[in-house]
Amino acid sequence: MNDLYVAIVNQLDNGIILLDEQLNIQLWNKWLVKYTDKSEDEVKGLPITTVVPRFDKKIYAYMFEKALLDKQKSFCSAAMHQYFVEHKCAKMKPTRQNILIQHIQIEHTSYLMIELYDVSDHYKRIQNLNKYLKSSIDFSKNLEHFVYYDSLTNLPNRKFVLDRLERLIEGENQGFSLFFIDLNGFKAVNDQYGHLQGDLLLQMFAERCKQFTQKQEVWTRLGGDEFVLLVEHMTTQNAVEQYTAKIHELLQEPFSIEEQQILISASIGCARFPQDGATAKQLLNVADSQMYLQKAKKA
C-alpha cells in the first residue's frame, strides 16, 4: 500500500478501516487507535465483526456485498445507530458516529473502506478534513465531490443542479425540461421497516436512475425522497410525456430489501425553459407545484 496514502489517512480526524475482500481488517488508522486503545497490530487480519460486533448484522453484510460487487456506497447516519466503535473509556458517553462504506481500488487489489465520523463536533471535523484534503490533488477532487454530490445516493445534489441550471440559462440554451419527482409512500416505508431500509431504498432507486441516464440528462437528489431530472434540448409536450412514462417505469419493479418486496410510485411535475420561467428558482417552483397537483389527484 502506498506509504503517502497511509500517512495521509493517519492524519485524518476520523476513523478509517480498510477491509480485504474477506472482510478482514488491513488498516486501522491512528484515530481509531487513540479512540479505542486497540493497536493496528491487535486487530489486523481479524474479521471486522470480531473487532466491531455491531457490524454483525444482515443489513451491514448486504452493504459490504454491494460495495464489493457493485461498487455501491452506503451511508449510515448516527440518527439510526448512534455509534459503532466503542470508546476506550467505558465511563465516557458514546459519541455519535456516521459511517460511509465504499469500494476502493489500490493498485490491482479491491478493498472496502469504512469511514467513521464523530459528528458530535461536526463543524470541527469538516474544518480538519478540509485542511488535509487540500494537501492532495486527489483529495481536493474528493472535496469537490462532497460539495456537489449527495453522500447517500452519490447523485448530484441541489447545489449541482442549481449551478447547472444557471449556466444553461445564462448560455441562452435552446431549451430544457425539469422534472420534479416525489416518491409516494416513502414515509410509510420508513415507518414500517426503519430509516436504514428507507436509505437503502433511496440508494436502489438512485441506481435505477443512473442506468436510465443518457448524455443530455442529469439526475439529482434534492433531499429526502425528492429528486429532479434535468433534460437538455427537450421542450415538446410529447417528449415530456414520454419521459414521464419512463420515470414511472423505473418504479414498476418492486425493490427487494431484506427479503421484503417494496413497491412505491411517484408524483411527477415538469417545467420547461423558457416557457415556464426565466430563473432556476422559478423553474423549480413550477415543477414542484405541478408535482403536488399530480399528488393531489392520486390522494
In this prediction, residue 194 carries a pLDDT of: 86
Query: What is the rounded average pLDDT of the residues 278-290?
Result: 94
Superfamily classification of domain 158-298: Reverse transcriptase/Diguanylate cyclase domain (3.30.70.270)
Phi, psi of 41 (to 5 degrees): -60, -35
At residue 123 the predicted structure's pLDDT band, cuts being 50, 70 and 90, is very low
Question: 234-247 burial, b for 16+ CB within 10 Å, e for fewer?
Answer: bbeeeebeebbeeb
Question: Which range is least confidently modeled, 21-30, 70-79, 190-199?
Answer: 70-79
Domain with CATH 3.30.70.270 in the chain: 158-298
d(C-alpha 172, C-alpha 230), whole Å? 16
Q: What pTM was computed for the model? A: 0.54
Identify the CATH number of the domain defined by range 3-148: 3.30.450.20
| Pairwise pLDDT comparison (131 vs 278), residue with the higher score | 278
Question: Going by C-beta distance under 8 Å and a sequence separation of 6 or more, which residues neighbour residue 273?
Answer: 168, 169, 173, 175, 176, 177, 178, 235, 283
At residue 36 the predicted structure's pLDDT band, cuts being 50, 70 and 90, is confident
Question: Going by C-beta distance under 8 Å and a sequence separation of 6 or more, which residues neighbour residue 227?
Answer: 155, 180, 181, 182, 183, 205, 209, 219, 220, 221
Report the amino acid identity of residue 176: F
Q: Is the pLDDT of residue 92 over 80?
A: no
Report the amino acid identity of residue 22: Q
d(C-alpha 229, C-alpha 181), whole Å? 8
Question: Going by C-beta distance under 8 Å and a sequence separation of 6 or more, which residues neighbour residue 119?
Answer: 78, 95, 96, 97, 98, 125
Domain with CATH 3.30.450.20 in the chain: 3-148
